Copies of this chain bind each other. A is one copy, B any other.
Amino acid sequence: MNADYLKKLKQDHFKITPKRRAILDLFDREDKCLTPETIWEHLKKTFKQSGLPGIYRNLELFVKQGILIRIDREGRKRYYALCHDHSGHHHHHIVCVECGRVDDFPVCHFPDIKSTKGYKILSHSMQINGICKSCQ
């Protein structure tokens, strides 16, 4: 599981520190999106020293590495979730509005439009919101 993420980091010469492992492990265990603060609460159980800034920095690193994605939810907080499909295939995510569970959404139905209304299209982001099985 986790090994894939670590490999990604290694490839780009980032160090595998205990905190980084712990953050990724946590995401592996919880199937849902987490806020920096939630992650911090967990890490504090294991590490007597642990700071929020370090978590912010690592989360953003993981996003850049394609290991995590950002999730939009109500409120002003940031949420992050594991991107399970690291095959590089284009896909989207579905988020449970109740518990924050996140799954890869298998198919992208967005057509291969390259331009429209004069725009050159660069990217699109889609998030599907729903209620997962166990929350229904």
Q: Which residues of A are interface residues toward B (Cβ below 8 A)?
A: 72, 94, 96-97, 103, 105-106, 109-111, 115-133, 136
Q: Is the interface of A mostly helix, strand, loop or mixed?
A: strand
* A117–B101 alpha-carbon span in the complex (Å): 12
* A128–B108 alpha-carbon span in the complex (Å): 14
Tell me whether A131 and B127 are in contact (CB under 8 A).
no
Tell me whether B119 and A133 are in contact (CB under 8 A).
yes
Contacts of A136 in B (CB 8 A): 120
Tell me whether A118 and B105 are in contact (CB under 8 A).
no
Tell me whether A128 and B117 are in contact (CB under 8 A).
no
- CB proximity of A40 to chain B, nearest CB, Å: 19
Q: A110-B126, A115-B130 are in contact. List 10 more A-B contacts (CB 8 A).
A: A96-B119, A118-B132, A118-B133, A119-B132, A121-B128, A122-B129, A123-B130, A124-B128, A126-B126, A126-B127
- CB proximity of A103 to chain B, nearest CB, Å: 5
Contacts of A96 in B (CB 8 A): 119
Tell me whether B109 and A122 are in contact (CB under 8 A).
no
Contacts of A105 in B (CB 8 A): 116-117
* A118–B121 alpha-carbon span in the complex (Å): 32
Contact A120 B129, CB 8 Å, known A109-B109, A109-B111, A110-B109: no
Tell me whether A97 and B109 are in contact (CB under 8 A).
no
